[in-house]
Each structure stands twice: as structure tokens, then as C-alpha cells.
Amino acid sequence: MLKDVTFGQYFPGNSLLHKADARFKVLILIEYIVIVLLANSAYAVGLGLLLTAFLMVFSGVKIRLLLKSVKPLIFVLVFTCLINLFLTRGSGAPLVDWSFIKIYKEGVRNAIAMLIRLLSLVLGTSVLISFTTSPLELTDALESLLSPLKKIKVPVHEFAMMMSIALRFIPTLIEETNKIISAQKARCADFDSGNIFKKLKAMVPILIPLFVSAVRRAEELADAMECRCYHGGKGRTKLNVMHAKLRDYIFLLAVTAIIAGVVVLNRYDASFIKNLIKDLVF
Amino acid sequence: MNAIELKNVSVVYGEGTPFKKIALNNINTCFPQGTVTGIIGHTGSGKSTLASLLNGLLKPTSGEVLLFDKSIWEKPKEMVQIRSQVGLVFQYPEYQLFDETVEADIAFGPRNLKLPQEEIDKRVKLAAEFCGITERDLKRSPFELSGGQKRRAAIAGVLAMQPKVLVLDEPAAGLDPKGREEILGGLIEYKNTYGATLIIISHSMEDVAKYADNILVMNNGEIYMQGAVEEIFLQAERLFDANLDVPQITKLFIELKKRGLCESSDIYTLGYAKKVIEKLLG
């Protein structure tokens, strides 16, 4: 049942985004989120969409896979759209006025804006981080970006290590869960009938073995790490040292410039642009 | 009479995707009532897939699974009935234990069958006896037991449902010789008491030779050989071709035959080998 989830899965590849420095990708993701949330006017949203399209192309991930990653979210998307569409009260006359349903121009606008925002957030995060950055790169990047916090005694390395271990064990635990479910089903366990409390109670024979084996795995892993002389982050060197290249700086600057662009475009509406072009041309 | 019969059974994973994999290809076989069948085969040959077909945990892509001449998929809603008749013990079943005491854990299956309390108590006692679990251990937590004892408790949990067919995936893997003998001996005793049918998946040719009546050899999702134990181990060459083995004692006699020291090589148990050697020595 947990097999077809592509959201949050890494696809190895050799695209521009795959090759980009993971630390820069994290920074760019933050900028990207700012852009998506900041964009308000039609032109600004358009600029954001253009950036999203560029990122999708640069990631080299097949469009079909991207759409598949959106699929589990369809319900959320449709729901948010409908809520915005029906519950926004506008100032002018409603577009549709049929018994209790009233749809205003502002509602349509909000629904579309919300849809674009949510889709952009999912697609952007997918292509920037999850599809093109291996979990190992990601935790290394976070460790490196947060390393200034070490000065105030925040255990950054330990957090990064915990995160990479957690990511590493997700597939293992899914497999384990499926095995335990099968084993309990073979003992005639019934997970599907009864009310909510009965169903929750039916989970006990799955959860207890799962916790027990998770704890056992943790102990074994701790032993194995100690056997290989792991002693925390101090003085630890990396196999793959991250090197920022010129193109990473250019990438970051370009996206920063887009933030500025969005701020400007938000400020002024369509007529201003027309005038600006007129001024420039004539 | 056949306890279980498979007719043209195929299992295909990921049909219609690039990851399509044929796990089982057109399997035709039967397991006569009251016999012990050993299933041998390389890792990934489809043994475990075959096992989960037998109690309806997995639905075949095509073909039929018959339990006492009735298709088990006829009434999918009554699958609990099928699962109580076909007990399936997975590999490393000790990881499915969850209840407070061994006794309660063994009772999980019968409880799911909604049997009266007296009947449950009776069955738990019997199952514990077959698996060599002492009265004292029944009151302990399953997590306090040793590895071998946990294994016994888990097998007892399936035996307590008193299945007519018992399928075990590597029941003795990772146990010491004494533990192996006790567990497998207990299962044979159960079979003889109830006239049950045993299907044991194993990597140990010695165990198969000692306990099985028939052998089913799987290779690449297909039945490679099937027949009585002596027929199969006579064709040692074919087994070697599938990267499988014969019992060590059979190997010895193959070598003796090559050197002209004895006439037959269809010897696969120690007791018989001893007799033959004594006869040869005069």
C-alpha cells in the first residue's frame, strides 16, 4: 500500500539540478518559497511560474513522474480551491447567485491563486530537493549550513546524523510493517471490520512488534557504529567534501534577482508595465 | 486426496510497468493430505511467494488455488476460514510476538477465530506441548525468552489454530542442531496426531531428506523438479545445475560410487548410510 508514493523520493540523474551544490539548493528553496508566497499580482505569479518551469526542465525529471508526485495531493488541492471559491465574499455583484451558493470574482481569483501556490510549492520542493538531492547530500548540506550554530553549542552534527539515519530506515520500516501485517493476517487478525476503537485495538499486534524491532535495530546500529569508532562530529572528516562552483553562485544570484523582480511586479499592476514599456520604447 | 492443489498458477508483480517481474510462472502441483513436502530452491526462486499463495495472503494473477478441491478465492469474505485451515509460519516468526505473556500470544489466533475460552485454553496447552514450551514459560513475557524459545512460541501461535495444512518458511533457520531437531520433530508429531499436511520451505538438504516425503524444487519462478525424496536426490547432477545441493551423506556415496566402492548413491539419511557401510564392510 505504501509502494506508489513518489513524493519525497530521490531519482538519481545527471541534470544541472542534480549537479548543483546541495547547500545552494537549500538556500534557493527558501528563496523559491518566498517567491511563491510573495507573488500577488498576475505578472509576479507569471514570473514565479516561469521559474518553476525552468526548475522542472533543469531537473531532468520526467513530467509523468512529477505529475505522479502531485497525485496524492489532488484531494487537498480540490478542497482548498472549493473552499476559496465558495467562501470568499467579494465587494461587487456575485458571478453566480443560486440559492445559498454565491461565487464572487474575488473567490475565483483566490481559488486560482491558491491552486498555483500549492502546486508550485509541491513541484518546486520536489525538483529542487527530493527528486534531485540524495538524502545524504541533503543532511550534509543542512549540517554545513547550520554549522555556525555550533558556536552556541547546538549539536548540529548529531542532528544531521539522526536525520540521515531516520531517512535511511524509512524503507526498512515500511518493509518490516508489511511483513508483520502479513504474519498477523496469517493468524486470522482482522484489521478491517468494527468501529474505530476496534480498528485501533487491532493495530496493537502490528505496532508492538514494530517498536520492538525498531529499538533492536537502533541498538545494533549503535553497536556497529561504536565498533567503527564513531565518536560524534568532532574532528570527523567527510568522504565527499562539498565544493561550490561559480554556476552555483550565479544560480543563487539569479533567484535572488527574481525575488526583487516579484517585489517590483507586486507593487505595480499591468498598466504600470505598459507605461514603463512605452516610456522605454518611445 | 489432495490437501492443496495449484492449477496453472502465475504471479506477476508490477504488470504493465517497466518493473514487471514474473514471480511464479504456470505452477501445477499438489500436496497430498498427510504428507510432508519440502520446498527447496535458490533465494528469489519464488518459494516464499508460493507460500503466501497457499493461505490467500496473495492472490494469483492467473490460475487457481484449491484447498480440499475448493477454490480459496471463491468467497473472499470468508478468507478467515481459509487462514484457520492453512497455517502459515513466516521466516523469523519471532518478530511477530506482541502480547504480555507467551500464553496470551499463542491464544491470539484462536481468539481471532472467536472460539470459546475453554477451547482456547485447551489448544494453547496442546500447541505449547508440541513446541516444547514449559508451563513456566507460558506465564513469562515473550520478550524475556531466548531466540530459540521465541521461535517456538511463534510457531505454537500458528499451531494453536489447529490448521489442517501447515506451511512453514525456514522454521529452523539460525537455530542450533538440537533446536532444529526439537522444532521439526514437534511439527512431525503434530502432523501425525492430526493427520495434517506439512509444507516446509528449507535450505537444509539434511532436514528435507530427514523429514520430507516429497520434494518440490523451484528455480526462476518455475517448478524445476518434483517427486519423492529418493527420486530427487538420485538426480544430483540436475540439482547441482540449479545451484542446489544434495545431503552431504549423498555426496559421500556419489564419490564412493565413482571410485567403484559401492553400487548405489540413493542414500540420504545417516541411519541407512550406516547400514549400507556396515554391509559393505562385511
Residues in B touching A212 (Cβ below 8 Å): 95, 98, 143
Higher pLDDT, A224 or B255: A224
Q: Which residue, among B86, B145, B133, B79, has the nearest Cα to B106 in the 3D structure? A: B133
- The answer, for B84 touching chain A at a CB cutoff of 8 Å, is yes
Check residue A57 and give its pLDDT: 87
**CA–CA min distance A60, chain B (Å):** 19
- The answer, for B82 touching chain A at a CB cutoff of 8 Å, is no
Are the Cβ atoms of A208 and B52 closer than 8 angstroms? no
Count contacts between A and B (CB, < 8 Å): 57
Torsion sign (Cα): B126, B128, B133, B137: negative
Q: Are residues B63 and B34 in the same domain?
A: yes
CB nearest to B90's CB, from A179, A204, A212:
A179
Residue B150 has pLDDT above 50, yes or no: yes
For chain A, positions 127-186, list CB contacts with chain B under 8 A: 176, 179-180, 182-186
Tell me whether residue B51 is in a domain: yes
Are the Cβ atoms of A189 and B108 closer than 8 angstroms? yes
User: By CB neighbour count within 10 A (0-12 exposed, 13-18 middle, 19+ buried), where does B20 fall?
Assistant: exposed
Check residue B1 and give its pLDDT: 82
Q: Are residues B19 and B70 in the same domain?
A: yes
**CA–CA min distance A133, chain B (Å):** 23
pLDDT tens digits along A165-184: 888 888 888 889 999 999 99
Percent of chain A, pLDDT > 90? 20
Check residue B76 and give its pLDDT: 81
CB nearest to B143's CB, from A184, A185, A212:
A212
Check residue B16 and give its pLDDT: 67
Record the cell numbers describing residue A233, joined without a space.
562530529
What range does the domain containing B263 cover? 247-282
Residue B66 has pLDDT above 50, yes or no: yes
Are the Cβ atoms of B98 and A205 closer than 8 angstroms? yes
Record the cell numbers describing residue A36, joined without a space.
511563491
Q: Are residues B239 and B168 in the same domain?
A: yes
Task: State the Cα torsion A151-A154-A155-A160 to the nearest 10°.
Answer: -100
**What number is the average pLDDT over the span A186-205?**
85
Banded model confidence at residue B17, pLDDT cuts 50, 70, 90: low
Sheet of B36-41, strands arranged across: B86-89, B165-169, B197-201, B36-41, B214-219, B222-228
Are the Cβ atoms of A213 and B83 closer than 8 angstroms? no
Banded model confidence at residue A8, pLDDT cuts 50, 70, 90: low
- What is the C-alpha end-to-end distance of chain B, expressed in Å? 44
- What's the Cα-to-Cα distance from B225 to each of A70, B39, B233, rounded to whole Å? 48, 10, 11
Instruction: Give the chain B residue whose CA is nearest to the CA of A177.
Output: B96
Check residue B214 and give its pLDDT: 93
Q: Which residues pair with B215 in a beta bridge?
A: B38, B227
Residues in A touching B57 (Cβ below 8 Å): 182, 185-186
Record the cell numbers describing residue A178, joined without a space.
508489511
Banded model confidence at residue B37, pLDDT cuts 50, 70, 90: very high
Distance, in Å, from the CA atom of B143 to the CA atom of B146, rounded to the nearest integer, reads 8
Mean pLDDT is lowest, of B15-24, B78-87, B111-120, B143-152, for B15-24
Coil, helix or strand at residue A146: helix
pLDDT tens digits along B258-274: 888 877 777 777 888 88
Helices (H), chain B: 47-54, 79-85, 102-106, 108-112, 117-130, 135-138, 147-159, 177-194, 205-211, 229-234, 236-241, 248-258, 270-281
The mean predicted confidence, pLDDT, of chain B is 89
Are the Cβ atoms of B57 and A186 closer than 8 angstroms? yes
For chain B, positions 123-162, list CB contacts with chain A under 8 A: 143, 157-158, 161
Are the Cβ atoms of B161 and A188 closer than 8 angstroms? yes
Q: Are residues B36 and B55 in the same domain?
A: yes
- What is the C-alpha end-to-end distance of chain A, expressed in Å? 63
CB B213 within 8 A of CB B229: yes
Record the cell numbers describing residue B80, joined without a space.
478467515
For chain A, positions 201-260, list CB contacts with chain B under 8 A: 204-205, 208-209, 212-213
Count of domains forming chain B: 2
**CA–CA min distance B248, chain A (Å):** 33
Tell me whether residue B121 is in a domain: no
What ipTM was predicted for this assembly?
0.85
Are the Cβ atoms of A186 and B84 closer than 8 angstroms? no
User: Can you give the pTM of this predicted structure?
Assistant: 0.75
Q: Which residue has the cell 511463534?
A: B154
Tell me whether residue B125 is in a domain: no
Residues in A touching B113 (Cβ below 8 Å): 188
CB nearest to A188's CB, from B84, B99, B143:
B84
- The answer, for B59 touching chain A at a CB cutoff of 8 Å, is no
Q: At what angle do helices A246-267 and A22-38 cross, to 10 degrees?
A: 10
Check residue A270 and give its pLDDT: 60
Residues in B touching A183 (Cβ below 8 Å): 90, 93, 95-96
Banded model confidence at residue A67, pLDDT cuts 50, 70, 90: confident
Q: Are residues B239 and B271 in the same domain?
A: no
Tell me whether residue B275 is in a domain: yes
* Domain of residue B12, CATH code: 3.40.50.300
Q: Which site among A175, A188, A191, A220 would you substitute to test the B interface, given the most B Cβ atoms closer than 10 Å to its Cβ?
A: A188
Q: Which site among B57, B96, B101 would you substitute to test the A interface, given the most A Cβ atoms closer than 10 Å to its Cβ?
A: B96
Check residue A5 and give its pLDDT: 47
Instruction: Give the chain A residue whose CA is nearest to the CA of B167.
Output: A186
Helices (H), chain A: 16-19, 22-38, 42-59, 63-70, 74-87, 105-125, 135-146, 156-186, 196-202, 204-227, 246-267, 270-281
